[in-house]
Structure 1
Amino acid sequence: MALEAWFMDDSNEDQRLPHHRNPKEFVPLDHLAELGVMYWKLNPENYENDTELQKLRENRGYNYMDLLDLFPEKVSNYEEKLKNFYTEHIHADEEIRYCLAGSGYFDVRDKDDRWIRIWIKPGDLIVLPAGIYHRFTLDTTNYVKLMRLFIGEPVWTAYNRPQEEHPARKEYKKSFTNKFGTPIETH
């Protein structure tokens, strides 16, 4: 099954709920691609020997890898950490996540500043471009196992919004000017 993504409602209910609009407004993969979000579907049951994953890592220079299990019984201060992941931010580098088990949501802002919810499940590998506003939360299963990939030494610095003057944000916005002729709006 392909990656699922949709425009989110404005509800303040539990962040782990789907937050579909009424009626539901799904977002096609090509819209995510326009935002710089990349996606691959891989086999999570064979990630240690997956030649497609190895080729992807080589081609994109992902030389660092670790695994992260997120669930209440494993993570101390679970609710606080989940709240921190859900704070809107950018990174100076790409964020690469490969879901091996469980599920969760990456939310990204589109060029019109609307939230798009991306539901990752086993086998989904996504790359969020440097400078895109985003956040992460688990869904109601309260469990995800992610592979984190990185180019070079990992730097996990999050820059909370607003970050319009951050070099990564400026470069991200510039990519829209180069592609579409007009910069993305910021609010």
Structure 2
Amino acid sequence: MVRVWFMDNKTSDQRLEHQFDPPEFLSVEELFNNTGVEYFKINVPTCDSDGVLAEIRNNRGYSYEDEITCSKECLPDYANKLKSFFTEHLHTDEEIRFVLDGSGYFDVRNGKDDRWIRIEVVAGDMIIIPSGIYHRFTLDSKDFIRAKRYFVGEPVWLPYNRPVDDMPCRKEYLKKMKSGFAA
């Protein structure tokens, strides 16, 4: 099962698993209610034949997919790429990641008090980060993740670094946060 917890705002060691002792864990439901981030558990060995992933893709209109591998060996300009992934940003489209192998951390801001929530992802985890939410990504100490990325239409992969609170997608996200996220 995916692990989710509150972090402090320090960024001195982005790969540090827990920055509170003990960590303040959240359930998947609390994650969704606080952020709108959706979580699915998918069986990697059977994902092409069991219909679960196909149903999610069909219901959400994902028409394009690609695969990314983040590791020192596979990612050009590795150190700078990881630094850019860890810079707090948002996107105008939702961000969908299905982890096929490896592990890492997605951090998202909660809506109430802007605290970081860390989401540990491992093989079989699929998360959908809503458009307009501030977030960031880093690898854990294993330095490896392989994931599928899904898009509606042609991919638009442009991060907007914080602060960009006047963007329409950010305003829409804040509106949804106030009224409550609907599954």
Q: TM-score, normalised by structure 1?
A: 0.91
SS of alignment partner, residue 25 of structure 2: coil
Tell me what 1:20 maps to.
19
How far, CA to CA, are the matches of 2:179 and 2:94 in structure 1? Answer: 19
How far residue 167 of structure 1 moved from its aligned partner, in angstroms, is 0.4
How far, CA to CA, are the matches of 2:80 and 2:118 in structure 1? Answer: 21
Tell me what 2:6 maps to.
7
State the one-letter code of the partner of 1:77: D
How far residue 22 of structure 1 moved from its aligned partner, in angstroms, is 1.9
How far residue 48 of structure 1 moved from its aligned partner, in angstroms, is 3.0
How far residue 75 of structure 1 moved from its aligned partner, in angstroms, is 1.2
How far residue 105 of structure 1 moved from its aligned partner, in angstroms, is 0.3
Q: Which residues of 2 match residues 1-187 of structure 1 at below 5 A?
A: 2-34=1-33, 35-111=35-111, 112-179=113-180
Bigger shift: residues 138-147 or 22-31:
22-31
Structure 1 residues not aligned, in runs of 5+: 181-187
How far residue 3 of structure 1 moved from its aligned partner, in angstroms, is 1.1
Bigger shift: residues 18-27 or 130-139:
18-27
SS of alignment partner, residue 30 of structure 1: helix
Bigger shift: residues 29-38 or 167-176:
29-38
How many pairs does the alignment contain?
179
How far, CA to CA, are the matches of 1:77 and 1:16 in structure 2? Answer: 19
1:77-104 CA distance string (max 9 Å, x none): 1010000000000100110000000000
Tell me what 1:184 maps to.
none
SS of alignment partner, residue 103 of structure 1: strand
Question: 4+ residue runs of structure 1 moved beyond 4 angstroms?
Answer: none
SS of alignment partner, residue 113 of structure 1: coil
How far residue 16 of structure 1 moved from its aligned partner, in angstroms, is 1.6
State the one-letter code of the partner of 2:100: L
How far, CA to CA, are the matches of 1:55 and 1:178 in structure 2? Answer: 27
Q: State percent identity of aligned pairs.
A: 50
State the one-letter code of the partner of 2:4: A
Structure 2 residues not aligned, in runs of 5+: none
2:8–2:115 contact (8 Å) kept in structure 1: no
SS of alignment partner, residue 79 of structure 1: helix
Bigger shift: residues 116-125 or 19-28:
19-28
How far, CA to CA, are the matches of 1:14 and 1:48 in structure 2? Answer: 37
2:95–2:130 contact (8 Å) kept in structure 1: yes
1:39-96 CA distance string (max 9 Å, x none): 1100112333341101110011011111111100111210100000000001001100
How far residue 14 of structure 1 moved from its aligned partner, in angstroms, is 2.5
Bigger shift: residues 18-27 or 90-99:
18-27
What do you get for the CA RMSD once the two structures are aligned?
1.3
How far, CA to CA, are the matches of 1:162 and 1:86 in structure 2? Answer: 15
